[in-house]
Amino acid sequence: MYEEPATARLVEAFANTVDVELGTDDLSTPEQLTDWLVGQHLLARPHRADADDLALALRLRGGLRERLGVPVGDQPAAALLADADSALRELPLLATVGGAPPANQPAAPSDAGPTEGAEPARDADPDATDGAGAGPAAPEAAPVGGAGAGLVLVPAPGLPPVRRGLAGVAVAWSELVLAGDAARLKRCAEHECAWVFWDVSKNRSRRWCSMRVCGNRNKARRFAAKRAVAP
């Protein structure tokens, strides 16, 4: 069993703010973005997101969701990946030595209350993601190259509070990529679901967030298609 790190939980929660199956979006307004960042301990009130912050967040989320479909064999939309890359350029990161943000870079807010808005796992069966959205999200800083490496990624100094909070998602994604764990974070291959989950299988072979639901749904569809073309 491969335990999901805090960085993956944060990216997963961010990607799952949109629910394809239910047709809901938890980032429909700047106020909702504010609430999500506060709930993930990435922003402290009274700071608030505006329309430009929301547009930036949606560009980043759209590209991340496209990228997370690659491990299950989906072909990503190049335009969405480019939009996310453009968003990341507006959320620059800084590598520091010593495990602490620069003196003029505020640390992650410590006065936020209990985690709000963390996305739950899609179901509770053993094949579903374990602990998705449980506990506090990843901090604004993450070690590069594993514990004890002495190098830490942080949001670049000078970013406004909301952008610094969004940069926390960029920090988490960067750490997943650098640690070689990004391939375990996947978007469900069942397109009617498209829920993002953490693959706990040894060989990273899972394609559905739930074998019991989405896996069986996909198999039933393929079986029906074969019967339809049989003589």
* pTM, full prediction: 0.78
Give pLDDT, residue 122.
60
Residues facing 154 on adjacent strands: 94
Nearest-angstrom CA–CA distance, 158 and 178: 25
99 — alpha (psi -120 to 50), left (phi > 0) or beta?
A: left
pLDDT band with cut points at 50, 70 and 90 for residue 97: confident
* pLDDT at residue 108, rounded to an integer: 42
Task: Tell me the residue type at 200.
Answer: V
Handedness of CA 112, 113, 116, 118 (dihedral sign): positive
Q: What is the pLDDT of residues 103-121, one digit of tens each?
A: 444 444 433 343 444 444 5
Question: Do 205 and 43 form a contact (C-beta atoms < 8 A)?
Answer: no
DSSP-derived secondary structure letter, 208 = S
Task: For 158-188, give one letter per residue: b (16+ CB within 10 A) or e.
Answer: ebebbbbbbbbbbbbbbbbebbebbebbbbb
How would residue 231 be classed by pLDDT, with cut points 50, 70 and 90?
Answer: low
Say how many residues make up the chain.
231
Q: What is the CA radius of gyration of the chain?
A: 18
What does the pLDDT average to over 42-68?
Answer: 98
- Mind listing the pLDDT tens digit for each residue in 128-148? 433 333 444 445 666 665 544
Distance of alpha carbon 122 from alpha carbon 129, whole angstroms: 8
Residue 28 has pLDDT above 90, yes or no: yes
Per-residue pLDDT for 198 more than 90? yes
- Of 45, 17, 37, 39, nearest in space to 114 by CA: 39
Report the chain's mean pLDDT, rounded to a whole number. Answer: 81
For position 34, what pLDDT does the model report? 98
